[in-house]
Structure 1
Amino acid sequence: MPLLRAALPAMPVLTLDTLQQPEQIRYVITWGPPPGLFAGLPALQAVFALGAGVDKLLLRPDLPATVPIYRLLDGGMAQQMAEYVRLGVLSYQRHMDIYRRQQAAGVWKMLPPRLPAEVRVGVLGMGEIGSAVAQALVADGYQVSGWSRTPRQLAGVASYHGEAGLGEMLANSDVLACVLPSTPQTQGLLDAERLACLPAGAMVINAGRGDLLDENALLALLDSGHLRAAQLDVFAMEPLPANSRLWQHPSVTLTPHIAAITLRQQAVSQIAANLQRLQAGLAAEGRVLRERGY
């Protein structure tokens, strides 16, 4: 709250605890608002999400479709996401996942080195964050391709789009890094058939949304040896249930949805700038297209 008040000195900034006249509220900045909140705000003009994902807001029955939603375009998350994906790709390139399994088995065995240029990385999702991830991987010397719903060109990145393009990219990805949002089009995208399109010995990194990936299909392909490793930050159910096999699988590395956490100062600066634009009668950045889901 101090950051918001400092960034918006001409606007009253309230919390739910201090809210006394809800009929006067025009803007809401939120991540996980309580049920029914929006129904009690008749003057609501816009909602600002404290993150890049807005799937939960789009499902809110109390939020009218006429009220625009704005997401963070970055908020400091792009660099963090690039770091998270690079960590997984580097682990794959240097065989660290295999060495961890060898350590557990008491095996001392050196593996032949592999150069970055010999590793093909496919990035699923080429928005602001996905593009930053792809550019970071290009800078590291990897062979990088990117897939998006519509054509997108980025220097040094082989571009794929559509259903045909997805299959082709998967077949040529030693590491698949998913940073897609959750939309009706992306839910269940990485099913058993598509995961099987990855080359033998490939790795999957999912830092987008948990409902993109069929976890049982992933486990089956890891068990069979077709896939070598997985690094997962998001899951169909969070927190991940204690009885999930993913916790103990020797080829899986888990993190608790921390790949890219909103940084307060960057988020406040972006939201404040957008509010000032709206106040001046200008278009704000990051407006969500409801039909797309992002």
Structure 2
Amino acid sequence: MDLCPDDLLAHLDDTISRLGVEDSGLPERAAAESGATCLYAVYDPATRRCTMARAGHPPPVIISPEGDVSIPDLPAGLPLGVGPASFEAVDVELPEGCVVAFYTDGLVETRHQDIDAGIQRLGAVLARPDRPLDELCAAAFDTLPARALEDDATLLLARPRSLLPSQIATWDLPNDPVVVAHARALATAQLTGWGLEALVATTELIVSELVTNAVRHGAGPITLRLIRHEVLVCEVTDTSDSVPRLRHARPTDEGGRGLFLVAQLASRRGTRNSPAGKTVWAEQEINPPLS
């Protein structure tokens, strides 16, 4: 559904509560005998920004390239399914070369050690970000006494990478119908510079439709962004929170085929909302598989 982390946790919480009521036939609070914890994070390699929210789960541990350990100030929230809850997302900028640790409480909390001490122990073990991730994982578990594994213990380490400035092209455009042709020209010039001439025709159509929708149905200034990585991503952002809807136009309809066309040309597409508006995006394979 391409939701922000806090919205996704709220949606998941509602789903779990509803399923609990349907399965048990009991009132909502009585249906949830125990809750599940969750930590959800979305990382943008173009900006190095990581947006996180948690539902009663231990916070992540971030190890800087210099080995400094920090824990984001991330509101805990209630576990999923235990009752009405609200969740809050926090943005964290991750430095190049850092390591981020996600883990279950079984790794840091035992009968003989509280969770804060366990998190400090985990951070101290991981404060060698230059080492391979599998070695860091092994070292973290090697520090646990045999009796400590009284609960499931899981550790996930990530070393986020960022995109080079040469892989990203961004333009701020006015909300004006005449800007559509200019947006196509900007995209064409950028793809030519990247050596992606084979994708010019399809990208022009995608850019035209997404920018036209932003002008027609959105509000405020428009941002067009192209990202070249393993795939080519086209993003159009505006300040409206209305989500475009894919329609199946009838033969007699004059319009309504734009997003359907984008869906046919793109390998993946979607819409993600933010407090400032929405971003409609479409991906294309740079080297499409042979049919």
> 1 or 2, which has the higher strand percentage?
2
- Scaled by the length of structure 1, the TM-score of the pair is 0.22
- Scaled by the length of structure 2, the TM-score of the pair is 0.22
Using CA pairs below 8 Å that are at least 6 residues apart, which structure has the higher relative contact order? 1
Higher alpha-carbon Rg: 2
